[in-house]
Amino acid sequence: MTGPTLADIMSLSEDNEVKRTLLNQGIGSDYDVFCENVESAILEGIAHMEAMKPQFKGLGEDPLTGILSFGLQMKGFSSDHDNYRNGHCDLLVKSGRYEWYGEAKLDKGPGYVLEGFRQLCDRYAPGNGYTCRGGLIVYSAKRNKLRLLDVWVKRIQKSYEVVTNFSPLCKVTLTAKSSHIHPATGLDFKVRHFPISFYHRPTDKSARSRKN
């Protein structure tokens, strides 16, 4: 019986102790480690936003992405909002020649999310060995974040022209991971799918009183 492969380990959830330990010891390429650290920091930013939904839910796509970018800067990353990479990429995180790309969308339905996926994969990222990972970030005020994620995963699988493989949805981070052959380079292009939920409808007594 063979042991787990590098791909198996890299597909584990962010809070998996084995994965974190091996990453810290240098598993995978330096580029993989850089991207994993970026995505871990984004998850921290998402947790902060979702803990303060009333303060963020009324903001648009650009200010929300600007806040995420600022949070990455505070974590020590070189991060820019609306930088030019074959078009205006919403989020660009750099370390030397390593680049991680983020495309952010308000949740206007699975078709609109698919267009964001196309922009990320087919427009912005060159897809070479140092630019072959990114994230799709979707801000939603709708109910049931896990179901929304499942809906847009299925839409991408159905409608995107390149065969796209998804790992099982992670119920710890509420994210998904996909990979497909980048049309420009033939390398695997890997995307982390991040829904951010601003659904907030409290039903306790004080909330009902304020509503009344």
Q: Which pLDDT belongs to residue 150?
A: 96
At 157-190, the pLDDT tens digits run: 999 999 999 999 999 999 999 999 999 999 999 9
At 92-118, the pLDDT tens digits run: 999 999 999 999 999 999 999 999 999
Specify the amino acid at residue 154.
K
Predicted confidence band of residue 7 (pLDDT cuts 50, 70, 90): low
At 20-29, the pLDDT tens digits run: 666 555 456 7
Distance in angstroms (rounded) separating the CA atoms of residues 114 and 95:
28
Strands (E), the chain: 78-84, 88-95, 98-106, 133-140, 165-166, 176-181, 188-197
**CB proximity list for 157: less than 8 A, separation 6 or greater:** 164, 166
At 47-74, the pLDDT tens digits run: 999 999 988 888 999 999 999 999 999 9
Distance in angstroms (rounded) separating the CA atoms of residues 32 and 46:
21
Q: Report the predicted TM-score, pTM, of the whole model to 2 decimal places.
A: 0.83
% of the chain with per-residue pLDDT over 90: 73
Distance in angstroms (rounded) separating the CA atoms of residues 81 and 73:
11
Question: Is-contact 208 152, C-beta < 8 A?
Answer: no
Spatial CA neighbour of 185 closest among 132, 123, 127: 127
HEC sequence for 100-123: EEEEEEECCCHHHHHHHHHHHHHH
- Give strand pairing partners of 195: 138
